[in-house]
Amino acid sequence: MPGNMKYKSLRMKDHPLANRDGVVQEHRIILYDKIGPGTHRCHWCKVKIKWAPGKGPRRGAIVTDHLDNNGKNNKPKNLVPSCNSCNMWRSKKIQPEESFITLPSGIRSRTEIRYCKVCVKMFHHPLWAIKKNPVWGQCCSRSCDNILRWTMRKQKISNKIGYPVPMRNRDLQIEHANEEEEETESKGRKIRR
């Protein structure tokens, strides 16, 4: 959210999130009602965060994130808990030269351009996923990922037994390339029935 955006605040002295002046931002009240007190996970990177009264972002504290980037849309559906660092990079507008994907929800997520370790195809890897698990994002698809995992497992076994694991026909197939054909085939079968 733009830093200069004025959020609506309410005077609610007894609210658990009230600051020293007894003021709470409206979106924090609504999110608090939606998800409840205590510890939650960041909507983006899943790190554990908890409610802390008062303003001022701090480490480990819940920041209320407006999914549609509209600071005035305080509908519960539009509010999610976020850690401070995810909220920071979300609030900076994505520039045309930056890479991003548009999620089904319409939200844009920054990405890093990567090349698949199996089929070398270019793909977008979301930045929040890098934070969540740096090992992710080696492949463009689940089927390529399966191939990579199987290759690595075979390598491990080979190292253990001291000679290469014999190839089977199955290993030579690159499922990814056949995926589309298989799909049409199964659809065709359905129609025939």
What is the sign of the dihedral through the CA atoms of 22, 77, 75 and 64?
Answer: positive
Q: Does 45 bind Zn ion (CB under 5 A)?
A: yes
Residue found by looking up tokens 């924090």 in the block: 28
Coil, helix or strand at residue 113: strand
> Which residue type sits at 56?
G
Coil, helix or strand at residue 82: strand
Whichever of 27 and 90 has its CB closer to Zn ion, that residue is: 90
What mask of x and - would describe binding to Zn ion in positions 50 to 89, judged by CB under 5 A? ---------------------------------x--x---
| Candidate ranges 43-51, 152-160, 161-169, 181-189; the one touching Zn ion (CB under 5 A) | 43-51
* Separation CA 28–CA 47 (nearest Å): 19
Q: Does 116 bind Zn ion (CB under 5 A)?
A: yes
Q: Does 94 bind Zn ion (CB under 5 A)?
A: no
From 44, 65, 90, 147, residue interacting with Zn ion (rule: CB under 5 A): 44
Q: Does 127 bind Zn ion (CB under 5 A)?
A: no
What mask of x and - would describe binding to Zn ion in positions 131 to 150, judged by CB under 5 A? ---------x---x------
Whichever of 12 and 61 has its CB closer to Zn ion, that residue is: 61
Q: Does 42 bind Zn ion (CB under 5 A)?
A: yes
Q: How many CB atoms are located within 10 Å of the residue 42 CB?
A: 23
| Candidate ranges 40-48, 88-96, 102-110, 178-186; the one touching Zn ion (CB under 5 A) | 40-48
Element of type H or E holding 48? strand 48-50
Whichever of 30 and 148 has its CB closer to Zn ion, that residue is: 148
Query: 70-100: buried (b, 16+ CB within 10 Å) or exposed (e) per residue?
Result: ebeebeeebbbbbbbbbbeebbeeeeeeeeb
Coil, helix or strand at residue 192: helix
Whichever of 29 and 80 has its CB closer to Zn ion, that residue is: 80
Contact 144, 133 (CB under 8 A): no
* Separation CA 81–CA 61 (nearest Å): 9
Whichever of 21 and 179 has its CB closer to Zn ion, that residue is: 179
Residue numbers at the binding site for Zn ion (CB under 5 A): 42, 44-45, 83, 86, 116, 118-119, 121, 140, 144
